[in-house]
Amino acid sequence: MGTVEAMERPNSIEVEGLVREFKKGPRAVDGIELRVEPGEIYGFLGPNGAGKSTTVLMLTTLLPPTAGTARVGGYDVVREGPKVRSVIGAALQEAALDPMLTGRDHLRLQSTLQGIPRAERKARGQELLDRVGLSEAADRKVGGYSGGMKRRLDLALALVHRPRILFLDEPTTGLDPQSRSALWEEVSRLAREDGVTVFLTTQYLEEADVLADRVGIIDHGHIVAEGTPQSLKAEIGLPSVHATPAEEGDRQRLVSALAPYGESLDGGGRDVVVRLREGLAGLPSVVRAVDNAGLTLASLEIQAPSLDDVFLAKTGRSLEGAGEEESDAAETAA
Amino acid sequence: MRIWPVASAVAWRTLKNVFTNPALLFPSMIFPLFFFTAFAGGLSQVSQIPGFDFPPGYTAFQFCFVLIQSAAFGGVFTGFGIARDFESGFARRLLLAAPNRTGIVLGYALAALVRWTVTAIVLTVVALAVGMNVFGGTVDVVGMYTLALLVNLAGLLWSSGVAMRFRTIQAGPIMQMPVFLILFFAPVYVPLGLLSGWIETVATLNPLTYVLEAVRSMLAGDEVHVASAFVIAAGLVALFSIWSLRGLRKAEAAG
Amino acid sequence: MLSQVGAVARRSIVRTARQPAAVVFPLVFPMMLLLVNSGGLEASTQLPGFPTDSFVAFALAVPFIQGALFSTMNSGTDLARDIQTGFLNRLSLTSIRGTALIAGLLAGAVVLGLAQACFYIVVGRLVGVHFASGLPGIVALLLFAALISVAFGAIGLFLALRTGSGEAIQGLFPLLFVFLFLSSMNTPRNLIGVDWFQLVATVNPVSYLIECVRSLIITGWDGQALALGFGLALGIGLLSTTIATLALKDRLVRT
């Protein structure tokens, strides 16, 4: 049965009612359901302590679930652990590297352990080093690598055995913008060209927004929203326009000019903010109206609802501040 | 500015740290006890070697060594604490706050002395409990412990100088090794007279040998080169005081 | 599977070789102790019934056992570090079996243990120690060294898997030291004068391990000593590898 399904759905992840309880404390994961299609990049977004890493540990067979089922690559994570491990690659939260070994040493070790035939190991290692841009640093000890380099090596190691499904747990936390973009590019390429299914956890809105085909927002062990970034944002709201008049005295006239185009919001100060009833399509009319009224603007900005707005709508908290709350709570509890 | 307030504050804090932290307290007490047990217990037959002449017996013979060893290492352990303080940045706080910085070193020295006194009491009680003979009089006993106290001070001043120069706990081995070598190249197991070959030469040149022999002689009530021992001990204290204070200047200069 | 074991072993060796302190310390420290002890206790050989007239020959057995203790610490702290950094998770995501992982880690310990043993043998020969059992004895000695590397290395692995902490393992070092000292390390068991100490030394397995090596150096082929030593080493080895394997199963919760 397992093998037939594996042939039918080679690269998918299916999770039903997954629960993980720890001996002392609340349920870290409290009944989640999700499904990732082959070749999809699924972003698992949530603050610290939401249950993202625990979920990843269960899906990568490193932690047994308390209840529920999960099938990764068509194999059951509890009953067919070794088979799951043979088709997945994982770059988990800690970079998990040995500072005394070089990059090349790591790849040699990983290839041997993954059962890559001896004749292919060297070539495979070099190929991956080239791919993640570590060829020059390959023979230096990892202890001297920067954070970005360590993450790239981590990714290379996860790809040694050409996995069909890749798990990335907060892959760009702590990286500089350049390293982050480079990693995003590589992940996109993997999904696009190699058809790898990617399950990615992150606390960065931008990362989920840019990279993920679909996003699942998790809070306190539950999925509170799921969908494409666009659909989630559209569900929540329409874009708003923020206009600042060049002359302070023109503010009231600007308010009147923009009033027909949507609900007025509190801009706090000089800004006049209006939520566009017709979405972005209403923008040209807004510009014409301002022009017709003979007003000059100091600035005009469009703000689309963000995933943070989505999180706020679903949980009553902002994602950006939520992480700190969780860590504080965890610290007091400990 | 007066030294005493600074010294007492530093000493109080260091002692509080040690006495509320079993991981710091026990090794400095357990190790000497352990060596005492291992040597006095496992090597007692050494007293049967022809030429071994120490009336109070082998237990007393080893007690003297362990007393000096615990004093020397007690000083070194406090030095570890200083290094740790530098590494954690706490020492910088002290340097900034204390109006008289010599008082800082004095404070650590006081802490080391108090700490060792506790160890010495425990050691003495155990030794007496297992029936160690003391043939010396009151003056002898006072002299013994005074010499040991000076060794403790010397140990502390040596390791504090290292700690202030390196300002990291990684310098631990540098503090420990020379002390270990100087202790063990003394007549640990047998009197100087029963040593032969290269170790006899080394031990004869080792200043600590005379301190150790003086302590043993006082315990036996048969004083031998006590005056030179005190001169040596005082000399080591003076030498390492300079070493330590120079180290303090270096630490200040580094900021 | 063999290549997996080899890869893990290779990594252990490379990792240790690249840390000079981890290489030098287990070689130098036992030699220093040997130096100090044999210098200080040479006179012991005059005691009636002492099995040899060279204390160095008598004490040379000790570094081999000390080396094994260091093996415990090294393999333990290395694995604990892997647990803390998550490297063990990385390994467990591959198809490597628990037994292969343990075998690889122990293979690394054996190579290092043999390297240490060769060093001690060379130093022994250089200071004039004559191996009573000749070349075949040296081979037997190396075999024994390999065996105790496995036995003690596995204890280190077990501790690492249970505690997951390098500091906890370092904290156990004094305990291992105790086992070493409360043995026939410095005195033949039958010459120990203090009753309780003799009792402790008699029940302490380390005594027999030391005596096994010692017999190869000063006696020749002593069937009883060899049987006891090899037997114990084998017994400890079987026990420790079993509990280490079980502890790995617990730690590697993977399904």
Contact C46 B50 (CB under 8 A): yes
Residue A1, pLDDT > 70, answer no
**Is A62 in the same domain as A183?**
yes
B43 close to B142: Cβ distance less than 8 angstroms: no
In whole angstroms, what is the distance from residue A47 CA to residue A45 CA? 7
What total number of domains does chain A contain?
A: 2
Q: How many CB pairs under 8 A join B and C?
A: 83
Position A203 in a domain = yes
Residue A332 inside a domain? The answer is: no
**Residue A201 within a domain:** yes
Does any CB of chain B come closer than 8 Å to the CB of residue C28?
no
What's the per-residue H, E or C state across chain C? CHHHHHHHHHHHHHHHHCCHHHHHHHHHHHHHHHHHHHHHHHHHHHCCCCCCCCHHHHHCHHHHHHHHHHHHHHHHHHHHHHHHHCHHHHHHCCCCCHHHHHHHHHHHHHHHHHHHHHHHHHHHHHCCCCCCCHHHHHHHHHHHHHHHHHHHHHHHHHHHHHHCCHHHHHHHHHHHHHHHHCCCCCCCHHHCCCHHHHHHHHHCHHHHHHHHHHHHHHHCCCHHHHHHHHHHHHHHHHHHHHHHHHHHHHHCCCC
Regarding whether A209 and A288 lie in a shared domain, the answer is: no
Task: Give strand pairing partners of A14.
Answer: A35, A71
Say which of B30, B49, B181 has its CB closest to residue C47.
B49
What is d(CA C7, CA A108) in angstroms, rounded to the nearest whole number? Answer: 8
A93 touches chain C (CB under 8 A): yes
Pair A52, A197 in one domain: yes
CATH number for the domain that contains residue A33: 3.40.50.300
**A193 and A91: one domain?**
yes
Q: Are residues A87 and A173 in the same domain?
A: yes
pLDDT averaged over every residue in chain B:
89
- Does residue A149 sit in the same domain as residue A24? yes
- Residues C125, C60: Cα–Cα separation, whole Å: 10
Domain boundaries, chain C: 2-39+50-251
Mutate which: A98, A105, A110, A151, vs C, most C CBs within 10 A: A98
Residues A78 and A189 in one domain: yes
Of B27, B34, B196, the CB nearest to C42: B196
Name the nearest CA neighbour of C121 among C113, C129, C112, C110: C129
Write the single-letter amino acid at C98: G
Closest residue in B to C25 (Cα–Cα):
B173
- For chain B, what is the largest distance between any 2 Cα atoms, rounded to a whole number of angstroms? 61
Q: Do A96 and C19 touch (CB under 8 A)?
A: no
Task: Answer whether 0.95 is exceeded by the pTM.
Answer: no
Structural domain includes residue A84: yes
| Residues C38-90 pLDDT 10s | 888 888 888 889 999 899 999 999 999 998 888 888 889 899 989 988 899 99
- pLDDT reading at A7 higher than 70: no
Average pLDDT over residues A196-221: 92
Range of the domain at A242: 238-303
Is the separation of the CB atoms in B157 and B240 below 8 Å? Answer: yes
Residues 116-175 of C with CB under 8 A from B: 171, 174
Task: Confirm or reject contact between C18 and chain A (CB < 8 A).
Answer: yes
The confidence score (pLDDT) of residue B237 equals 95
Same domain, A205 and A267: no
Smallest Cα distance from C253 to chain A, Å: 6
Alpha carbon distance C2, B236 (integer Å): 60
Give per-residue pLDDT as tens, A218-267. 999 999 999 999 888 887 777 888 888 888 888 888 888 888 888 777 66
| pLDDT tens-digit map of C179-236 | 899 999 999 999 998 888 999 999 999 999 999 999 999 999 999 999 999 999 999 9
